[in-house]
């Protein structure tokens, strides 16, 4: 779990954000600690533009210690002596953010080197996160930094907006020195976006052989300064839930799984993963969530524009039905439930005897929280369907997932009778 504690910054680094408010109120940070403390090995990552500048850092360390929570503090290494003393006293794990060389002045480099060597001397656990903002550049300058911390872990993080074609050049330029670091006992983790398809065959073989780990896209659970939560820092625009709504981290994970289930299982036809064998044999979960989400939003936008164009009025009824259907399906995937309901209601008006339309409308009603109307539509779909049990099985699944077990079991009896006919 990560908490974004501040926008304050020491330098213009490429992963800086401008969120509101500038600093997370301590009460919000404490809410996050309270949720994190129930984990088996409670840990919290303090992230932001320059988390070391958070004015309540000392109080936050004290609150975490009270709850036995281990803090991971991200920092560029640019910090005042008072913050450094705080670190030496509280000993959080340091996650050292490393950027391209051009972002540092000569003075910056000297300050970072001095701070980092004092932190290492104090035997504070340190890992390095290399931020790749230009995939065509060479990052081998990082070797010296990584080697200055014995046996450290290097996490390479890409921006998940990147296109796969733009990641391959990074692999070509940087793979050799990355793998070589394994021989000097460093752990290498390639964060999401390093799917098997960005490696040449021999590179992938070497990565597997030497234990270079790749991570799939998974929820980082980021609490923003205003107390809302996001899946990760790239999805900060899709935050509609408040941390205070949840009683445990598991509940938040469940929330994200539900929220992004549709978009995560859906891969637009344009996606390179559509018929990928690697995905079929479960060696890759496919492209990161943000890309799927963006692709689905773009597809919906194209469809909307097409339907708004003056020529569209002359389209034949079959095309019109299909376009509305696609628009409803996309809206459902993107959790725009009111739009999905509107589309499938129009489909129902156009084809009242089509069981698939009633089924989709039922799903849209259900997701929009209109459960009675949803049940009516599942039943209409069942009456019109050549396999009447199928729509009811989906209703059964949803009732049981929702905890309505008495009604779910009664429905199951109904389904069994239908299946015997
Ligand atoms: S599933 Fe997609 S991301 Fe993964 S290897 Fe295949 S094409 Fe690449």
What confidence tens digit (pLDDT) does each residue in 40-67 have?
Answer: 889 999 999 999 999 999 999 999 999 9
Question: Do 260 and 327 lie in a common domain?
Answer: no
Identify whether the C-beta of residue 309 lies closer than 8 Å to the C-beta of residue 340.
no
339 CA from centroid of ligand 1 (Å) = 31
pLDDT-derived band at 193, boundaries 50, 70, 90: confident
Q: Can you tell me the distance from the alpha carbon of 86 to that of 260, in angstroms, rounded to the nearest whole number?
A: 39
Nearest residue (by CA) to ligand 1, atom 4, is 286
Q: What is the pLDDT of residue 286?
A: 84
Q: Is 279 in the pocket of ligand 1 (CB under 6 A)?
A: yes
| Residue 87 scores a pLDDT above 80 | yes
| Class of residue 305 by CB neighbours under 10 A (exposed 0-12, middle 13-18, buried 19+) | exposed
Predicted confidence (pLDDT) at residue 227 exceeds the cutoff of 70: yes
- pLDDT (0 to 100) of residue 269: 66
Residue 383 pLDDT exceeds 90: yes
Atom of ligand 1 nearest to the CA of 279: 1
Beta strand 241-242 with 228-230 is antiparallel
Whole-number Å distance between alpha carbons of 57 and 297? 39
Specify if 72 maps to a domain: yes
Identify whether residues 34 and 151 lie together within a single domain.
Answer: yes
Identify whether 290 is part of a domain.
no
Residue 167: pLDDT over 90: yes
Task: Give per-residue pLDDT as tens, 102-115.
Answer: 999 999 999 999 99
Neighbours of 196 (CB within 10 A): 16
Domain boundary among 201, 235, 264: 264
Q: What pLDDT, on the 0 to 100 scale, is given for residue 40?
A: 81
pTM score of the predicted model: 0.86
Compute the distance from residue 197 Cα to the ligand 1 centre, in Å.
6
- Is the minimum distance from the CB of 168 to ligand 1 under 6 angstroms? no
Mean pLDDT computed over every residue of the chain:
93
pLDDT of 236 > 90? The answer is no
Pocket test for ligand 1, best of 267, 286, 290, 291 (most atoms within 8 A of CB): 286
- Distance between CA atoms of residues 380 and 264, nearest Å: 29
Task: Mark whether 320 and 188 lie in a shared domain.
Answer: no
Q: Atom 2 (ligand 1): residue with closest C-alpha?
A: 273
Domain assignment present for residue 309? The answer is no
Measured in angstroms, how far is the CA atom of residue 275 from the centroid of ligand 1?
A: 9
Which of 233, 264, 295 represents a domain boundary (last residue)? 264
Q: DSSP letters along 217-283, please?
A: -----EEPTTSEEESSGGGGGG--EEGGG-SSHHHHHHHHHHHHHHHHH---TTSTTTT-HHHHTTS
289-338: pLDDT as tens digits:
888 888 889 989 999 999 999 888 878 999 999 999 999 999 998 889 99
Domain membership of residue 273 (yes or no) is no
Q: Is 284 in the pocket of ligand 1 (CB under 6 A)?
A: yes
Residues 73 and 214 in one domain: yes
Q: How many Å apart are CA 222 and CA 232, to the nearest integer? A: 6
- Domain identity same for 223 and 342: no
Question: Residue 196: which residues within 8 A CB-CB, separation 6 or more?
Answer: 204, 214, 278, 283, 284
Q: Across residues 190-207, what is the average pLDDT?
A: 91
Reported as a pLDDT band with limits 50, 70 and 90, residue 159 is confident
Same-domain status, 363 and 229: no
Is there a contact between 32 and 1 (Cβ–Cβ < 8 Å)?
yes
150 band by pLDDT with thresholds 50, 70 and 90: confident
pLDDT above 90 as % of the chain: 75
- Does any ligand 1 atom lie closer than 6 A to the CB of residue 192? no
Report the nearest-CA residue for atom 3 of ligand 1: 286
Q: Are 252 and 156 in the same domain?
A: yes
- Is residue 232 one of the residues assigned to a domain? yes
CATH number of the domain within which 361 lies: 1.25.40.10
Q: Show which of 249, 264, 279 is a domain's final residue.
A: 264
Any ligand 1 atom below 6 A from CB of 78: no
251 plus 371 within the same structural domain: no
Residues 211 and 328 in one domain: no
**CB 217 less than 6 A from any atom of ligand 1:** no
Does residue 241 share a domain with residue 108? yes
344 Cα–ligand 1 center, Å = 32
pLDDT band per the 50, 70, 90 thresholds, residue 270: low
Interval 392-411: pLDDT, tens: 999 999 999 889 999 999 99
Residue 187 pLDDT > 70, yes or no?
A: yes
CA trace torsion 32, 34, 36, 38 (10° rounding): -160
Best probe residue, ligand 1, of 164, 200, 287 (max atoms within 8 Å of C-beta): 287
Whichever domain contains 152, its CATH number is 3.20.20.70
Is there a domain that residue 167 lies in? yes
In a domain, 149, yes or no: yes
Residues 257 and 319 placed together within one structural domain of the fold: no
In a domain, 280, yes or no: no
Whether residues 104 and 12 fall in one domain = yes
Nearest CA residue ID for atom 8, ligand 1: 197
Least confident span in 136-140, 278-282, 412-416: 278-282
Index of the ligand 1 atom closest to the CA of residue 198: 8
Query: Ligand 1 in contact with 273 (CB < 6 A)?
Result: yes
Host domain of residue 356: 315-420
The count of domains in the chain is 2
């Amino acid at each position: 779990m990560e908490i974004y504690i501040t926008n304050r910054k020491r330098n213009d680094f490429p992963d800086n954000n401008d969120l509101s408010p500038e600093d997370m109120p301590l009460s919000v940070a404490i809410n996050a600690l309270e949720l994190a403390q129930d984990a088996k090995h409670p840990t919290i990552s303090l992230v932001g533009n320059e988390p070391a500048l958070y004015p309540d850092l000392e109080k936050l360390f004290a609150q975490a210690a009270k709850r036995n929570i281990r803090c991971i503090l991200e920092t560029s290494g640019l910090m005042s002596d008072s913050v450094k003393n705080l670190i030496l006293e509280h000993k959080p794990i340091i996650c050292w953010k490393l950027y391209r060389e051009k972002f540092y002045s000569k003075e910056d480099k000297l300050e970072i080197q001095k701070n980092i060597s004092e932190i290492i001397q104090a035997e504070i656990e340190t890992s390095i996160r290399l931020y790749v903002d230009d995939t065509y550049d060479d990052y081998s300058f990082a070797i010296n930094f990584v080697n200055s911390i014995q046996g450290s872990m290097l996490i390479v993080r890409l921006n998940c907006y990147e296109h796969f074609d733009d990641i391959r050049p990074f692999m070509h330029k940087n793979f050799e020195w990355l793998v070589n670091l394994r021989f000097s006992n460093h752990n290498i983790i390639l964060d999401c976006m390093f799917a098997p398809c960005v490696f040449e065959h021999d590179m992938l073989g070497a990565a597997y052989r030497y234990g270079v780990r790749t991570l799939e896209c998974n929820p980082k659970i980021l609490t923003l300064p205003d107390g809302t939560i996001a899946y990760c820092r790239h999805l900060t625009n899709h935050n509609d839930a408040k941390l205070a709504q949840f009683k445990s981290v598991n509940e938040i994970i469940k929330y994200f799984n539900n929220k992004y289930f549709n978009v995560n299982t859906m891969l637009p036809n344009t996606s390179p993963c559509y018929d990928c064998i690697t995905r079929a044999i479960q060696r890759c979960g496919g492209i990161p969530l943000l890309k799927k989400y963006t692709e689905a939003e773009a597809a919906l936008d194209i469809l909307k524009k097409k339907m708004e164009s003056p020529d569209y009025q002359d389209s034949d009824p079959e095309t019109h039905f299909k376009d509305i259907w696609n628009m409803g399906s996309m809206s459902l995937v993107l959790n725009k439930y009111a739009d999905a309901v509107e589309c499938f209601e129009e489909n129902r008006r156009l084809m009242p005897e089509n069981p698939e339309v009633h089924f989709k409308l039922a799903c849209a009603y259900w997701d929009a929280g209109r459960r009675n109307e949803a049940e009516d539509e599942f039943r209409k779909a069942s009456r019109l369907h050549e396999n009447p049990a199928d729509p009811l099985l989906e209703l059964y699944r949803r009732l049981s997932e929702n905890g309505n077990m008495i009604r779910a079991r009664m429905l199951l009896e109904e389904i069994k009778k239908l299946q015997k006919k």
